[in-house]
């Protein structure tokens, strides 16, 4: 058996319409999974990319996690073996000016929705005795950052919940782990990469000497979804080119 094959597995990837979520959906599809690409917006581009690497067509699903319970009924109606919680938002303002609305919106999407989606998945998967959850954390699961108080709080929470759920569910056959991406070439970092001084400062801190690519996160998600990671529980895996080791 290929320990990195996802053949016969059904995976749900949230926030899969672009960026890191899109790369994860494509990588899981390439590894043999039947992928449900979920997002607030149309995932047609992601499905087209999946079609280039796999004979499995995959399918799109509209899910808006501004409603934290948006996916809670999904797992009772069909078997899903792998859950990747990538959907997330960010709001920026100085901490002294940060609004309650921006706090609640980010926490609802990034943390509350993640927990209750995991809970619904576990209720369906625990009786089967097997399942994989991959949460997308952040470097700000470990660092404070600036001007993103609710995002930092939510990503610290993702790391903590990942460990808690692993503690409770590992004996039932569920692996719960997280990926903490570093600075990745996505739409969210376009402005940073376009600023020569800021980009150079970032690259000078990264031992690998380059920005990460979405595929770097996608392949890590394949590993944490595959049998090769069956004895990994509660890990938050930094995929950052060595940023946190600096």
For each of the domains in the chain, give its residue range(s) and CATH number, in order of start: 10-245 (3.40.50.720)
Taking the C-alpha atoms of residue 55 and residue 32, their distance in angstroms, rounded to an integer, is 9
Taking the C-alpha atoms of residue 60 and residue 45, their distance in angstroms, rounded to an integer, is 10
Q: Where are the alpha helices (DSSP H) in the chain?
A: 19-30, 44-53, 74-77, 100-107, 113-125, 149-169, 190-194, 196-205, 214-225
Indicate if 183 belongs to the active site. Answer: no
pLDDT at 236 (0 to 100): 98
Full-model pTM: 0.96
pLDDT at 1 (0 to 100): 83
Q: Which residues have CB under 8 Å from 176's CB, separation 6+?
A: 118, 133, 135, 162, 165, 166, 169, 170, 233, 234
151 in helix, strand or coil? Answer: helix
Q: Bin 16: left if φ > 0, else alpha if -120 < ψ < 50, else beta.
A: alpha
- For residues 235 and 178, the answer to whether their CB atoms sit within 8 Å is yes
Residue 33 burial by Cβ neighbours in a 10 Å radius (0-12, 13-18, 19+)? buried
Q: What is the mean pLDDT of each run of 10 residues along the chain (246 residues)?
A: 95 97 98 97 96 91 96 95 97 97 98 98 98 98 96 98 98 98 90 89 96 97 98 98 96
Which strand ranges, in their side-by-side order, compose the sheet holding 174-181?
A: 59-62, 34-39, 10-14, 82-85, 131-136, 174-181, 236-239
- Cα separations (Å) of 19 from 101, 184, 190, 219, 231? 26, 9, 12, 14, 29
- Identified catalytic residue from 65, 75, 121, 151: 151
pLDDT at 57 (0 to 100): 79
- CB atoms near residue 214 (< 10 Å): 20
- CA 164 to chain centroid, in Å, comes to 17
pLDDT at 187 (0 to 100): 83
């Amino acid at each position: 058996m290929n320990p990195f094959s996802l053949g016969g597995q059904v995976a749900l990837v949230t926030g899969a319409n672009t960026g890191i979520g899109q790369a994860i959906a494509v990588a899981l599809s390439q590894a043999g999974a039947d992928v449900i690409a979920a997002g607030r917006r149309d995932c047609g581009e992601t499905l087209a990319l999946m079609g280039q690497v796999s004979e499995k067509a995959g399918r799109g699903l509209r899910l808006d996690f501004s409603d934290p319970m948006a996916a809670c009924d999904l797992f009772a109606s069909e078997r899903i073996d792998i859950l990747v919680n990538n959907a997330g938002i960010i709001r920026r303002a100085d901490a002294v000016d940060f609004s309650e609305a921006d706090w609640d919106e980010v926490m609802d999407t990034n943390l509350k929705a993640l927990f209750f989606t995991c809970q619904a998945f576990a209720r369906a998967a625990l009786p089967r005795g097997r399942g994989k959850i991959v949460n997308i954390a952040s470097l700000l699961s470990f660092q404070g950052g600036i001007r993103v108080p609710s995002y930092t709080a939510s990503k610290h929470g993702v790391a903590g919940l990942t460990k808690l759920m692993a503690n409770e569910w590992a004996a039932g056959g569920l692996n719960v782990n997280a990926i903490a991406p570093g600075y990745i070439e996505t739409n969210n970092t376009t402005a940073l990469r376009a600023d020569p001084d800021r980009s150079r400062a970032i690259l000078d801190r990264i031992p690998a000497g380059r920005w990460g690519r979405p595929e770097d996160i996608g392949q890590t998600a394949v590993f944490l979804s595959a049998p090769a990671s069956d004895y990994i529980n509660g890990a938050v895996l930094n995929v950052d080119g060595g940023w946190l080791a600096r």
